[in-house]
Amino acid sequence: MKAALYTKFQGPITIETVTDPKPVTGGVVLKVGATGLCRSDWHGWVGHDIDIELPHVPGHELAGTIVELGAGMNKFKIGDRVTVPFVSGCGSCEQCNSGNQQVCDHQFQPGFTHWGSFAEYVGIHYAGTNLVHLPDEISFETAASLGCRFITSFRAVAHQAKTTGGNWVAVHGCGGVGLSAIMIAEALGAQVIAIDIDDSKLAFSKTIGAHYTVNGAKENVIDAVREISKGGVHVSVDALGSKTTCFNSIANLRKRGKHIQVGLMAGNDYLPEIPMHLVVANELEVMGSHGMQAHAYPEMMEMIKSGKLQPEKLIGELIPLEEAANLLPKMNEFQGVGVKVINRF
Ligand SMILES: [Zn+2]
Ligand SMILES: [Zn+2]
């Protein structure tokens, strides 16, 4: 099969012909229909992810059609259209048994622990626990765009924060994660404040659900959010992952508010300062969100089918595999609005 591959961290990514994957016991092989290009792939290519063994095929935001079944796989059949969470659970550890496959002790992560979907075919392990049927109304491209960003934001806003109508929600950072969180919070009936330092991203955020915007380069974010929400927000999401956005996201909460960390903390931002005095005095909750379990997808799929959520609005461009191989090493240089999805292999 054709695959985008690198043989050393920060080295060239080339299109190669490699051996087709074979299904493992309990697994399947998918013909990839579409796969998203994500900054997490860039982190992997740089060498930030200890799970990656070289040579490596990236790609973790995928949807496709089952073309081969491994031994023991009877829950799905050849020809099924499916997607899969980027953190897939083993189905048998303590976390999986409690329904929390997103923090499984033995995670299968296509594009990290194993070869991913920047290829014509991808092997998926623990398929019975993790595959999600795609409704006919949802295209491969839309399903791929749910990727890691949209599902992690869905879990953050809907399940971890339990956002409900009338809540004030602040979203720090209007990249793919942040825009997803804004759309989801608005769909759940919240009043949404978008924060970024880029006016064009803030303008776009208003077209997909933000009610108010704050430019952090021009205003004091904590004061501005507190003023707009008359005392602080019920829910705040750090969708970027920096010391500043993490601090602001906790400090702009109202009493008993919930901070959800979605943006990954890496490099110099690895150990952020936390205003712990506010956490204690105001009984704040500080939580993370790390993907979403396959069994939690149907609620989100229904919202997409009914048009309450329109993740396709966050797709910026459909590109061929060759272009993804060229763009991936530059992902730290461009921060344009919209997710790039590969749908030609
Ligand atoms: Zn597990
Ligand atoms: Zn991703």
Among the bound ligands, name the one nearest to the CA of residue 150.
2
* CATH architecture of the domain with residue range 150-288: 3-Layer(aba) Sandwich (3.40)
In this prediction, residue 335 carries a pLDDT of: 62
Rounded to the nearest angstrom, the distance between the alpha carbon of 176 and the centre of ligand 1 is 27
Rounded to the nearest angstrom, the distance between the alpha carbon of 26 and the centre of ligand 1 is 14
In this prediction, residue 337 carries a pLDDT of: 73
Q: Could you give the residue range(s) of every CATH 3.90.180.10 domain in the chain?
A: 2-149+292-344
CA nearest to 249, candidates 203, 299, 195 = 195
pLDDT digits (tens, 9 = 90+) for 214-266: 999 999 999 999 999 999 999 999 999 999 999 999 999 999 999 999 998 88
Torsion of CA 139, 150, 328, 22, to 10 degrees: -60
Residue 318 DSSP SS3: strand
Among the bound ligands, name the one nearest to the CA of residue 109.
2
What are the backbone angles phi and psi of residue 43, rounded to the nearest 5°?
-55, -45
In this prediction, residue 233 carries a pLDDT of: 98
- CA distances to 106, 141, 314 from 113, rounded to whole Å, are 10, 23, 27
In this prediction, residue 336 carries a pLDDT of: 67
- Model-level pTM? 0.95
Rounded to the nearest angstrom, the distance between the alpha carbon of 86 and the centre of ligand 2 is 8
CATH of 2-149+292-344 given 3.30.300.30, 3.30.450.20, 3.30.930.10, 3.90.180.10: 3.90.180.10
Among the bound ligands, name the one nearest to the CA of residue 100.
1
In this prediction, residue 331 carries a pLDDT of: 86
Rounded to the nearest angstrom, the distance between the alpha carbon of 97 and the centre of ligand 2 is 25
Rounded to the nearest angstrom, the distance between the alpha carbon of 70 and the centre of ligand 1 is 19
User: How far is Cα 240 from Cα 134, in angstroms, rounded to an integer?
Assistant: 29
Q: How many CA atoms lie within 13 A of 58 on its CB side?
A: 30
Q: Could you give the residue range(s) of every CATH 3.40.50.720 domain in the chain?
A: 150-288
Rounded to the nearest angstrom, the distance between the alpha carbon of 189 and the centre of ligand 1 is 33
Q: Is 330 exposed, middle or buried (0-12, 13-18, 19+ CB in 10 A)?
A: exposed
Rounded to the nearest angstrom, the distance between the alpha carbon of 156 and the centre of ligand 1 is 20
Instruction: List the chain residues with pLDDT less than 50.
Output: none
Q: Which helix (H) or strand (E) holds 31?
A: strand 28-37
Q: Which helix (H) or strand (E) holds 4?
A: strand 2-5
Name beta bridge partners: 132. Answer: 83
